[in-house]
Every structure is written in C-alpha cells, then in structure tokens.
Amino acid sequence: MKTRNIVITIFVTPFFVLMLLGVVFFAYASYKDSSSKAFREKTVYPAEFEDFHIEEMVVRGPDSLFLFGSYGIIEQLPAVLGTYDGGATWTKSEIRSLTSIAMFYSMDDHMILESYERDADFNAVYVSGEDYMTWDSIGKYRDYRKVRIVRVNDSVPDGGPKYKLENGERVFAGDFVESTLPIFARNDKSWILGSSGNRVLVYRIEDGKAQQRHETSYGSKGTQCLWMQDFLVKGDVFATVVSDGVWFTDNFALLYSTDGGQTWKQERVSAEASVYRLDIRDGKIFLAYYHVGRKSVSILTLPVE
C-alpha cells in the first residue's frame, strides 16, 4: 500500500504543480494586460498602422489623437496619422521625402522632427503645431550638443514658426536635480519629476534652481528604480505614467494628484504598450498608449473632478 501511494504521489504531484503554475501564469497575464475599471477605455485597430513605426503620440481628449512615426526601416518616410472621431477614420500626412533617421519629440503644444538627411552629414529640424499638417524648417546642425531649440516670443506673425534653433547647450532635467531618470513636465518646463528608490519626487524650478515641493511613493520599498513614461501638469492636476522597471512584474500605473501634488492616487494600466501619452482637460485625464504587437491604440478617460 505504501509503495502504491508513493508511486501515485510521484506521478500525480507534478501534474498538480503544473496546474498551479498554469493558474498563476494565467492570473498574472490577466493582471498584466488589464487596466483599472475606473477608466472608460476605447481601443482602435486602424489599417493605416501596417508598416508604420510609431515614435510619438499626442492625445487631445477622447476623440482626437495624432501619431508620429515613419514607414520603412532602412529608409524612412516620416508621416503623421490623425483622427478626430476616436479612430473611426484616419488621415495620413507625409511630412517630407525619404530620410535615413526620423526622431520626434513634443515641446509644449508643438511637435519637433529631427531628420538625418540622405546623402548629407547634417540633421534638419522641423516644427509643427495645431493639426500637424504643415511643417516649418527651423535650421540644421551637425552636433546636437551645440544647439538647442527654444520657443520664440509669441509676437511671431501668424503662420510663422513658434520655435527656433540657436547655438548653445541643450538643457535636460538632470542638469537641475540629482535624481534617477528625471524628466520635465512635457507642457511646463518649470516642473521636474524624479525618483529615488520607490520615492517619486516633484521639483519646481525657481530662479534657475530646482526646489523639491512634493513626494509620494510607488511600488515596494525594495524598488531600485522607477521609470516615468510621461509627465503633465495642468493647474493643480499632476499626472504621470510610472513603472517599477521589474520585468517579471511590470507594474504600470497612472499616478496623479488633483491638489497640486499634496496627495496622490493611482490606477493600474496595461504594461504591454510601448508609448504612453497624457492629456488633461475638462476635468478629465486622458491616457493613450500604443500596443506594438497588436497594432492598436487604446484611449483611456478618467474623470478627476
């Protein structure tokens, strides 16, 4: 009888272990892929995403979204995809001809394109705003460390570029604070978000110096580093997408404050996206993120008033 029980145990135990691992894996996969029930979520799968490599996004509420990237890999065709009806229809605008490398990043309410020109040894810089249909050339450079892009006085005539390229050192958030991977607020360079361990640190730049104003935490005390995917400030509303950088947990969340950084709340979001971008308007936080494997974009809405 004992021998029989031992044999049964030897053969049956691995089966139950595998079942348990399967349950754990399924639960984890569900956790990793799902977002908080607090959001109203919309996901779109446009045909225009085929062969389009997305680098940047701008979300303006639940219906307006702009995607910046390029078609092709070795030779790239910079383009913009835009929708005003929540993804039901899309317009495609090719910015310029083929280039070797196209890099996008946002500054305030404008988008910057730095394009490494074919058969040349310089980068050309373009800027666009509003609906991103028209792009203005603002100069070129050979060494990015010796130039900076600055906002032009608002007295610029209508239709003129709102930014210019000038000689000088580029300014980074790390120039002001000693923090892990600090970033400026995308729409307000007087605010910086940094981290130390699992602490999220909020700084305000005054008279050329950064002063720590607020602090909160995310994840466990053993967290070594936090990654901020985006950071936005509108009045008393602060919002960022944060992750703990641990590959086997992938804890991503929308971390936000509605009282100027005094208190913070968090809502879990999908960990399987590659680009996360925020907008704050009309008493709501809007979060858009792009899934590479699924070729889809999700737009999340969270009321904060």
* Residue 11, both tokens: 């053969």
Q: Would you call 283 helix, strand, or coil by DSSP? A: coil
Q: What is the pLDDT of residue 103?
A: 86
Q: Which residue has the higher pLDDT, 117 or 271?
A: 271
- Residue 178 reports pLDDT greater than 80: yes
- Strands in 199-206's sheet, in edge-to-edge order, are 183-185, 188-196, 199-206, 209-217
For position 292, what pLDDT does the model report?
Answer: 79
Q: How close are the terminal C-alpha atoms of the chain, in Å?
A: 68
Q: For residue 224, give Cα distances in angstroms to 180, 244, 246.
A: 10, 8, 9
Name the residue among 27, 25, 85, 74 with its Cα closest to residue 51: 74
User: Could you tell me the pLDDT band of residue 24, with boundaries at 50, 70 and 90?
Assistant: very low
pLDDT in tens, 67-119: 998 887 767 788 899 999 999 999 988 887 767 677 898 887 889 998 877 66
216-235 per-position pLDDT tens digit: 999 888 888 898 999 999 99
Show the CA angle centred on residue 56, arms to residues 298 and 253, nearest 5°.
50
- Rounded Cα distance between 199 and 211, Å, is 16
Predicted pLDDT of residue 159: 65
pLDDT of residue 101: 77
What is the arithmetic mean of pLDDT over 5-22?
A: 47
How much is the pLDDT for 29? Answer: 39
d(CA 155, CA 153): 5
- Averaged pLDDT, 186-193: 92
Task: For residue 19, name the pLDDT band (cuts at 50, 70, 90).
Answer: very low
Task: For residue 81, give every residue at least 6 positions away whose Cβ sits within 8 Å of its Cβ, in sequence order, or none.
Answer: 46, 48, 49, 52, 66, 67, 69, 90, 91, 92
Q: Which residues contact 152 (CB under 8 A, 6 or more apart)?
A: 160, 161, 162, 163, 164
- pLDDT at residue 65 greater than cutoff 50: yes
pLDDT in the model for residue 97: 72
Lowest average pLDDT, out of 38-47, 95-104, 163-172, 265-274, goes to 95-104
Q: How confident is the model at residue 134 (pLDDT cuts 50, 70, 90)?
A: confident
CA distance 237 to 170: 28
For the chain, give the percent of residues with pLDDT over 90: 35
Q: What does the pLDDT average to over 193-209?
A: 93
Pair 265, 259: CB distance under 8 Å: no
Task: Please indicate whether residue 158 or residue 48 has the higher confidence score (pLDDT).
Answer: 48
Separation between Cα atoms, residue 239 and residue 250, nearest integer Å: 19
